[in-house]
Structure 1
Amino acid sequence: MSAAARTLPRDLPQVEGQDRSAVHQFPSPVQAPRPVLDLVQTFDGFEALDAEWSALFERAGTDRHLFQTFNWLWHWANHFLPRDGDNGNVRLAIVTARDAGRLVMIWPLVAERSGPVTELTWMGEPVSQYGDLLIEDGPDALALMREAWAFVTRETGADVLRLRKVRQDSKVAPFLAELGATVTSDLKAPYLDIGSAPSFAEYEKRYSSGTKRNRKRQRRRLEDRGPVSLTWVEGGTEAEALTAQAFRFKHIWLRQRGIVSPALTDPRTARFFADVTRANIRPAGCHVLALKCNDQPVALEIGVRCLGRSAIHIIAYDPEFEKTAAGALLMEDSIRRSCDDGLKVFDMLAPGDGYKLEWADDTVGVRDWAMPMTLVGRAYVTIYVGLIRNGSKRVIGALPLGARRVVTEMLTRWTQPKG
């Protein structure tokens, strides 16, 4: 036996006619290459992702990703993102990962500068109601998120990560918990499991007879004021006009109750929804539903549909018709329409207000998360997010209605974008 043959493992089988001295060396295991990470920071770079983004959504998107479609975020960018070369404190920070050239992850973020602090927040703020990333399922998904996190913090030099409206069943929620991020807000999003019944008539049986009688009485009260009709609009100038009317109703409602809503009073929000409901190009699944009396809208809904889910983003009514419960009647009509259209989930979004819970089958947790990366970021989370911002909401909420209205008007003027 040769010296070379003696170096072989004892259990190596003898192959007839084989020169064993030629097989005594074994190659080291070949490690699969890791996905390649990149950071997209310009609108042109974002727009170039269109086809790949949509293909990844088809593979990895769910009905809960309705605010992560390319078209939705494209409309957002047209209204909230300063164009390249313009002055602005917001820039894109979209993390992408490619495996052998194929896009396998998109983490849609922006880096926003506020004084000395740079925040990483969701692309889509404040109009997107759920934030998440798109990522292909697999055993390495969490490891890829860790790599993406280290990459984006290094490349942007951000002080704090602030991710709002993260569903507890989102892709990113387990990673944020592992990271040790702080929960700064914990809300509930009510929803209806309309797919559990074959029709609205069957679904409606879960409500009490008293509740159904009350809604019929409310509808008769509205009908006493004139002929009632329902109009569904997807796209076009009519959708744009009805959207503008919905914002007028909503602004009146906010002022009457002394409620501060920088997002709804920001003129960019109204322009965004006018654009995305009109949707001359790049439709994003938006619709407008109008309950009319005497052919005039008395309650309006702006909603988004995606993969069997209908999410009610904005619902507003004419204050002159408040006693007719026009908003509640529109909600009933919208649920019926969703059932008739074969949808599975009717999502009322956060927060879990009482009127929503009266309709809902269940709720899902929706959290805001914050994670400081620097000393400046830690101070920001502790002082501003923890004390000033959350504390001011409690203080304003405790004021008498008249005082709340005054404070609301002041804050609305201060929080509007300049220029």
Structure 2
Amino acid sequence: MMTTAARALTSFERPTIEQCRAVAAVHPTFCEFDLIMDRAAFDALETEWNDLFAKSGKPANVFQTFNFCWHWANHYLRERNGQPSTLKLLLITARRDDRLIMVFPLVSERMRGITQVFWMGGSASQYGDALIENVPDKDAILRAAFDLLRSQSGADILRLRRVREDANVTPLMNELGATAAERLVAPYMDLTSAADFPAFEQRYSSKTRKNRRRLFRRLEEKGPMQFLRLHGGDEARQLAVEALGLKSEWLKSRGLLSNAIADRRMADLFADLAEGKTKPAGCIVSALKSNGEIAALEVSFACKARIAMHLIAFNLEYEKSGAGVLLLEQSLKDGYAEGLEACDMLAPGDGYKFDWCEKADPVVDWVMPLTLKGEIYARVYLGFLRARIKTAVKKLPKPLRRLMRDGAKIAAAAER
């Protein structure tokens, strides 16, 4: 752990009041910044992190809870097959008057000669943000944390995915002139807009409501239906892994590949999160069974009256039966029963999500080069090649995409 103490913000470069851009020109009081790079130091933050989250965490910060990050670290930072993880902790904290007031949860990875920094939680999470008390000078504190990262981490590029418009770090990204590599929207349902589900569903057309009732009757005709809502336990553990399997099969049927889902660590992580045996992180597993067989599954994370619908998957044998639609409708009913205020379907803003959602929050993937090498990587690969490669692959015929997908899986397995 590297420590930088400061009389104002940092000892490596104390900014002027104008540079701080603090509200009402309030100059920051004493802050001590730590660059945490070892697991023991991370674990030691648990109580303080939880206190900070309870006081200042937002509902959308569900993936920045200590417990979620702890589980992620257990699977993604540990050795695999006798080899150390390529991921390294690079977490920045700020203290004022011996009290933790900021956590910037980051990790780094060096690949092909480039050291990249991104959110702790990586592709297993969704929204990314820093946790910070709502102090007048919070923007200046975040800027000082970034300056520490740039001067002492040795990183080439900062890549912050899924940053909401209302995130704490959004003003920092704008101030730095970071590049918006991708702009998305995250559709959500505002449950406070109606007293209960029957009132909420009146916003949908009568034709839509009739179609959903018809789907329910047709599936019911095939045999007994059962809805499950699991807040932890052995069955939740097993179903969370099965949900990833169903999603993988759906991707395969369309000639697509998700490296995140193909990575066995994702399934192991979801299993522990869903079971909730140690350090629960708000994971809820919902299921629809038909004749005792899984028809659809959902893995979500609840935080401060908001639920993030992380993964929705259905059995391909039930694709035409609307099993996913029926499970989502039941999840809304359960949300009202549990006193939730919002059901967030997350980015990207796919069309089917807007069949349910009337509102959406802007989300940005930010890129900020820290070195010349990082600048070249950002411009040549991220800014030019990557998007064109993705577009070209999507235009390929399904059989060819499947062939490429299988080849990529074999290559990934060989690397592991």
Q: Same fold (TM over 0.5)?
A: yes
Structure 1 Cα separation of the partners of residues 248 and 33 of structure 2:
43
TM-score (norm 1): 0.90
1:239 corresponds in structure 2 to 236
2:399 corresponds in structure 1 to 402
Structure 2 Cα separation of the partners of residues 274 and 390 of structure 1:
33
Structure 2 Cα separation of the partners of residues 239 and 141 of structure 1:
39
8 Å Cα contact 1:266-1:417 kept in structure 2 = no
The unaligned stretches of length 5 or more in structure 2 are 1-26
What secondary structure sits across from 1:259 in the alignment?
Answer: coil
Structure 1 residues 163-193: Cα deviation after superposition (integer angstroms, max 9, x where no partner): 1111111110111011000011111110000
1:371 corresponds in structure 2 to 368
Structure 1 residues 344-372: Cα deviation after superposition (integer angstroms, max 9, x where no partner): 00000111111111100211111111111
2:54 is equivalent to residue 58 of structure 1? yes
2:38 is equivalent to residue 42 of structure 1? yes
> Aligned residue pairs: how many?
389
Structure 1 residues 201-224: Cα deviation after superposition (integer angstroms, max 9, x where no partner): 111111110100000111111111
1:151 offset after TM fit, Å? 0.6
8 Å Cα contact 1:236-1:278 kept in structure 2 = yes
Identity of aligned residues (%): 43
TM-score (norm 2): 0.91
CA-atom RMSD in angstroms: 1.5
1:381 offset after TM fit, Å? 0.6
1:387 offset after TM fit, Å? 2.3
Structure 1 residues 360-406: Cα deviation after superposition (integer angstroms, max 9, x where no partner): 02111111111111110011111221223222110111111111111
Structure 2 Cα separation of the partners of residues 347 and 34 of structure 1:
38
Q: What letter is aligned with 1:337?
A: D
What secondary structure sits across from 1:95 in the alignment?
Answer: strand
- Residues 344-355 of structure 1 aligned to structure 2 (within 5 Å): 344-355=341-352
2:63 corresponds in structure 1 to 67
8 Å Cα contact 2:35-2:91 kept in structure 1 = yes
8 Å Cα contact 1:227-1:293 kept in structure 2 = yes
8 Å Cα contact 1:82-1:91 kept in structure 2 = no
1:211 corresponds in structure 2 to 208
User: Computing the radius of gyration over CA atoms, which structure comes out larger, 1 or 2?
Assistant: 1
Structure 1 residues 260-286: Cα deviation after superposition (integer angstroms, max 9, x where no partner): 211111111111101110121100000
Structure 2 Cα separation of the partners of residues 417 and 288 of structure 1:
32
Structure 1's 86 and 399: CA in aligned 2 closer, same or farther, altered over 3 A?
Answer: closer
2:293 pairs with 288, 292, 296, which one?
Answer: 296
Structure 1 Cα separation of the partners of residues 105 and 414 of structure 2:
23
1:86 offset after TM fit, Å? 5.7
1:119 corresponds in structure 2 to 116
8 Å Cα contact 2:273-2:283 kept in structure 1 = yes
Q: What letter is aligned with 1:360?
A: C
- Residues 195-206 of structure 1 aligned to structure 2 (within 5 Å): 195-206=192-203
2:380 is equivalent to residue 390 of structure 1? no
Structure 2 Cα separation of the partners of residues 141 and 327 of structure 1:
42
Structure 1's 46 and 315: CA in aligned 2 closer, same or farther, altered over 3 A?
Answer: same
What secondary structure sits across from 1:67 in the alignment?
Answer: helix
What secondary structure sits across from 1:76 in the alignment?
Answer: helix
